[in-house]
Amino acid sequence: MVRVNRDNKSSFIRVKCPDCENEQLIFEKASSVVDCVVCGKVIAEPRGGNAEIKAEILAKFE
C-alpha cells in the first residue's frame, strides 16, 4: 500500500471587525456566512474555495 503525505492547506485566521474592532477566530474556507459575534456585521462570505474575508486579518494559524 502506498501512503500519500497530504499537507493541510486550510487554516484558521484571526480577524478584526472593521466596525466594533472585536477579534475572533474563523475558518479560512468558511462554507457559510460568518457574522461578528458582537455587532453582527458580515466578516466572511463563502466563495467556492476560500471565503471572501471582509475584515482585517491579524494572524494565520496552520
Secondary structure of 5-32 in HEC code, one letter for each residue: CCCCCCCEEEEECCCCCCEEEEECCCCC
Q: What is the pLDDT of residues 11-29, one digit of tens each?
A: 999 999 999 999 999 999 9
Residue 8 confidence (pLDDT): 67
- For the chain, the structural domain boundaries read 12-61
Which CATH fold would you assign to the domain 12-61?
A: N-terminal domain of TfIIb (2.20.25)
For the chain, give the percent of residues with pLDDT over 90.
76
Look up the pTM and report it.
0.77
